[in-house]
C-alpha cells in the first residue's frame, strides 16, 4: 500500500462526501483508489454492524461496536498490507470508540491506535451536533441508534480526548472548503 488516508467524524459530518471528492483528485492523477466505507456491506461483519446500528439497547450497541471493529480490521488486512493497493481511503475507522462509555473509550482507543495502522493523513471532521443532526434528517434514511442530538453531543465531547493524532477540520463549512484543506494536507504529505 502506497498512500493511506482516513476520514472520520460524527454521523452527518460529510465523511463520504469528502472521501469521494478526494478519490476524484487521485483518480485525476491516474492513481488507483480503493475506498472502504465502514461498516461495509460486502462482508458479514459490516452487515451485522449495520443491522445492530438500526436497533437500540446495550446489546445492539455492543454488537455494533464489535462487528464494526472486525469489519475495519478485515479492511486493514485485505487492503493496507496489499502491495498492489495504490491509494486506500477509509471512511470511518477508529473514531467509533467515541460511542463507547467514558473511560472505556479512551482505553480502547489507545489499544486500537497501537494495533491498527496510522497515517499523517487522518482527518477528523468536526461538525457541531446540531449541523450533524440537520444533515442526517435531510438524508431521509432510517436513523441509527446514535443519530439523535444527545448521542451526538456526547460523542463529540468524547472525541476531543482521542483526536490528538488527527488533523481536525471544521466541518460545518461548505464541502468545497473542507475538501480544499484535506487535499492540501494529502498532497503536502507526498513531498
Q: Which residues of the chain register pLDDT less than 50? A: none
- Return the pLDDT at 191: 67
- Return the pLDDT at 16: 96
**What DSSP line would sit under 49-108, residue for residue?**
HHHHHTS-SHHHHHHHHHHHHHHHHHHIIIIIT-TT--EEEEES-SGGGGGSPTTHHHHH
pLDDT in tens, 83-120: 999 999 999 999 988 878 888 889 999 999 999 999 99
Enter the pTM of the model.
0.92
Amino acid at each position: 500500500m502506497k498512500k493511506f488516508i482516513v476520514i472520520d467524524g460524527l454521523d452527518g459530518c460529510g465523511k463520504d462526501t469528502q472521501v469521494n471528492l478526494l478519490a476524484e483528485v487521485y483518480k485525476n492523477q491516474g492513481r488507483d483508489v480503493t475506498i472502504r466505507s465502514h461498516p461495509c456491506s460486502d462482508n458479514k461483519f459490516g452487515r451485522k454492524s449495520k443491522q445492530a446500528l438500526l436497533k437500540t439497547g446495550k446489546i445492539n450497541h455492543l454488537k455494533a461496536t464489535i462487528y464494526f471493529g472486525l469489519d475495519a480490521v478485515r479492511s486493514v488486512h485485505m487492503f493496507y498490507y496489499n502491495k498492489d493497493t495504490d491509494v486506500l481511503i477509509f471512511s470511518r475507522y477508529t473514531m467509533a470508540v467515541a460511542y463507547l462509555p467514558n473511560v472505556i473509550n479512551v482505553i480502547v482507543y489507545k489499544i486500537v491506535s497501537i494495533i491498527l495502522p496510522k497515517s499523517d493523513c487522518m482527518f477528523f471532521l468536526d461538525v457541531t451536533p446540531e449541523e450533524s443532526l440537520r444533515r442526517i434528517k435531510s438524508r431521509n434514511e432510517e436513523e441509527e441508534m446514535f443519530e439523535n442530538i444527545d448521542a451526538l453531543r456526547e460523542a463529540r465531547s468524547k472525541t476531543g480526548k482521542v483526536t490528538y493524532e488527527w488533523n481536525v477540520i471544521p466541518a460545518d463549512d461548505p464541502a468545497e472548503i473542507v475538501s480544499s484543506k484535506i487535499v492540501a494536507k494529502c498532497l503536502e504529505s507526498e513531498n
